[in-house]
Amino acid sequence: MIIRQLTSNDSAMLESLIYAIESGMENRLWWLPINRISRNHFLDPEWCYFLGVFDKGKLVAASCLFLNEHEFKESLKSLDDVPLPVAEIGRCMVMPAYRGNNLLLTVNKELLSVAKAIGIKTIIVTIHPDNIASKRSFLKLGAELKATTVKNSFYDRDIYTINV
Ligand SMILES: CC(C)(COP(=O)(O)OP(=O)(O)OC[C@H]1O[C@@H](n2cnc3c(N)ncnc32)[C@H](O)[C@@H]1OP(=O)(O)O)[C@@H](O)C(=O)NCCC(=O)NCCS
């Protein structure tokens, strides 16, 4: 398997992965609907650093380091004394056939290195309290629970931070 940053050439594969993940969600409330502004910037390196995992040329997993405040300014309001600058890791996806191998953890370790290299001090992560796989993966990455919130009126989220 190959792990690399996604580029504009990967747009179709990223859309297919998102479609497959959204279609197969165990619980719809675990996945926040993607707004147009975010979607338009997924492959904009000024805004996002999207890492993908490829198996035989097929994109099977991905996770994103969001560098633009648009993605995390609401979560930031719920947190006190967070060392700046901040980024968020989100849109974590592993195709069902590839789950159970801590692939998200592997990808996110690499995103943490990227964050460190560009001077990010704190990573924000928001997870539905019942999304055990995501929660376990981020706890192993060093995430600490700091607050809870409800996004878009009905998406419960625990807000975690990671010291980079
Ligand atoms: C979240 C997600 C990316 C994690 O994929 P992954 O890296 O393959 O995760 P794993 O299956 O290896 O699970 C991670 C850990 O959770 C555990 N786990 C997974 N599902 C579990 C369950 N239902 N109950 C208890 N433990 C569970 C695994 O055993 C593993 O534990 P370990 O670290 O002790 O080995 C994947 O489940 C996914 O794509 N989900 C749909 C999209 C989503 O919810 N994204 C997060 C919101 S942005």
d(CA 141, CA 133): 13
Give the pLDDT of residue 74: 93
Which is nearest to 12 in space by CA: 42, 56, 49?
42
Mean pLDDT in residue range 123-139: 98
* pTM of the entire predicted model: 0.97
Q: Which domains does the chain have, with CATH numbers?
A: 2-163 (3.40.630.30)
Q: Is the CB of 93 under 6 A from ligand 1?
A: yes
Ligand 1 centroid to Cα of residue 143, in Å, is: 15
> Alpha-carbon Rg of the chain, whole angstroms?
15
Q: Atom 21 of ligand 1 has which residue's CA nearest to it?
A: 133
Q: Atom 40 of ligand 1 has which residue's CA nearest to it?
A: 93
Give the pLDDT of residue 48: 95
